[in-house]
Amino acid sequence: MAQENNGSQEKELEKELEKEIPEAPEAENEERKDEGDGEKQDSRKDRKEKKKIEALEKEIKDLTDKIAKEKDDYVRLMAEFDNFRRRTSQEKLDLVKVAAEETIKGLLPVLDDCERAMEALSKSDDNPAAKEGTELIFSKLTGYLQSKGLSKIEAMGAEFDTDLHEAVAQFPVQEEDRKGKVYDVVQTGYTLNGKVVRFAKVVVGI
């Protein structure tokens, strides 16, 4: 009886072992499945990080392009402002010059009157005080205008030059060396800083 019991126990143990043996491949399959799921999760994570990096790189590029455009616009704006400032300064300077030129041109008839008055007084011995006073006024006026750039055109005896002289008459002369030259000055001419503001009106010898 004991032997029979031992035999039946051995058979039961064998059956239990047979049941446990097939379960091993299933466990391995579960481990492989877990590993596969882990790899898939890692792959998905890598793709997400890659997309995130690509999005950040695109954002950086867009910001870089935007900064470059704004910098270019700023440089252009500064150049335009600098040109505007220079142009405005030049216009103001030109306006001052024109105003000064017009003022000085308006004083030229006064110089003419002073010259005529001094010429008349030089031919008269009457009232020397008036002569002295007129010379003083004329001297101060010419000195001030010369300090502003006014210069007298020395025309008497000079070669006739259309850039400086305006011929109002011609006069026949015998001397060959006086032909084509200024014979007489009817009205004095002036330049202001090298620019003719009034031509000298002259008589030309022919």
**pLDDT at residue 202 tops 70:** yes
Q: What is the pLDDT of residue 2?
A: 45
Of 203, 119, 161, 126, nearest to 111 (Cα)?
119
At 13, is the pLDDT very low, low, confident or very high (cuts 50, 70, 90)?
Answer: low
pLDDT tens digits, one per residue of 45-65: 778 888 888 889 988 998 998
The pTM of the full predicted model, rounded to 2 decimals, is 0.57
**CB 189 within 8 Å of CB 205:** no
At 166, is the pLDDT very low, low, confident or very high (cuts 50, 70, 90)?
Answer: very high
Q: What is the mean pLDDT of the chain?
A: 82
pLDDT tens digits, one per residue of 114-129: 888 888 887 777 777 8
- The Cα–Cα gap between 33 and 123 comes to 134
Sheet of 200-205, strands arranged across:
165-171, 200-205, 182-187
**pLDDT at residue 26 tops 60:** no
